[in-house]
Structure 1
Amino acid sequence: MTILLANDDGVTAKGLALSYGVMKQFGDCIVVAPDNDCSGQSHALTLDRPLRIKEHDNGFFSVNGTPADCVHLSISGLFEQIPERVVSGINNCANLGDDVLYSGTVAAAMEGRMLGKNAIAISSCGREDRHLETTARVLHDIMTRLDTLQLPEGTILNVNVPACDYDELQGMKITRLGHRDPALPPTRLSDPRGHTVWWIGGVGNPRIAEEGTDFHAIGAGYVSITPLQYDKTGHSTLSLLEDWVGVMR
């Protein structure tokens, strides 16, 4: 199996190196990642300039673009062999609830949604190196049994791992996305020339975090695995809209 490994923290991120150490045990692993930290860039593609690719001494490739750029190029002609699965991460921060709307980690996995094998986005909910090691062990656990799982085409697994030692994990839970409060207000500052600048505010606190959500699982010490799909159609409202349009005719 040929596996494409990407991330949004950049080609030099420790989480990426740990992921590679795991994934090369399960197939031929190609690493293509942004040349810098691209957190929060969601599913953006670079369309206003050409992209440059650099091969590094360790065999990893970097792209001066977004996480989605990295996967898009890799599965559409950059290499002779099209990868069978995309793994994105290990991300050095949680991707829970509404975070998936903005996450470059999740977007990189989603860009590989139509490949032969389901994609994975994996994140550590802490920022200490030992927590990345825990997440790498969880990734190995998942990969050892993943091929026994038959999921609908286009499904990706969004995996989040608590910030604790591996032996402290309570297990794994299949979860749905929770939801956050609105983001914190932006911070207004002045640059050295007196111009007003803004820093985007931090994420909101968990609001819908009851049992069954990814927030709840992480808070209880469980690995959270949430199946995501790219079809954003509001299927439950189709009939309501059909009736509304019918009345307007």
Structure 2
Amino acid sequence: MKTVLVTGATSGIGKATAELLARQGNRIIICGRRAEVLESLKTEWSAFAEIFILKFDVRNLEEVENAINSLPETWKNIDVLINNAGNAHGLEPLLAGNTEDWDSMIDGNVKGLLYVSKTIIPGMKKRNAGHIINISSVAARQTYINGVVYCATKKAVDVISEGMRLELTEFGVRVTNIQPGAVETDFSLVRFKGDNERAATVYAGYEALKAEDIADAIAYCVNAPKHVTVSDMTIYPSAQSEPRTIYRK
């Protein structure tokens, strides 16, 4: 049984991963900004697992540190950190980009990951054990038009994952970087600021990945033997050949 902390656990990949790992017998710390959703998930999942909730915004260092440092002693030894929280906002040329959207993506996808990791890594190093899983994207592999800033943030996640592995392997800490392709979650709804019609077109004409597919992949990495590190994993739906190309019926 492991103690697992999942950021962005109230929806999508984070929620699916937290639930799967809970059902596999682990203790789960679910993190997010929506207290009512966190409480609801705790009530539901407590029927089969130990669940602890932390409400904070990964973009706020003070909130991150205060929340994680407030964990009871019995929850402080985090075995697995899943840096899932992140966002995409807007899909337009760089010169037409909204700088508030840029800040949100950089603060959430890059700085938030760093803030949470910096708070948890010391404990892992001290225990000479741990596993960090960072959720990147195939957008890190190939920049696409109108998505420059989002792609840049996910490329940063790849680089940070590599750097973490270089710095932490000698301390027994495994680092895994996951690059999902097109996954049908609220991702596009958030990117297009609630425009359901536009979001639906992203997943039209083919079978996209589901959040549960990525959760399965993460669980495989978490459950791999101690001597095995899955360093990088790229996952596409069968209809997608590379980040920019999806074959639709």
Fold match by TM threshold 0.5:
no
Q: TM-score range by the shorter chain?
A: 0.3 to 0.5
Rg (Cα) greater in structure: 1
Q: Which has the higher helix share?
A: 2
Ranked by relative contact order (alpha carbons within 8 Å, sequence separation 6 or more), the top structure is 2
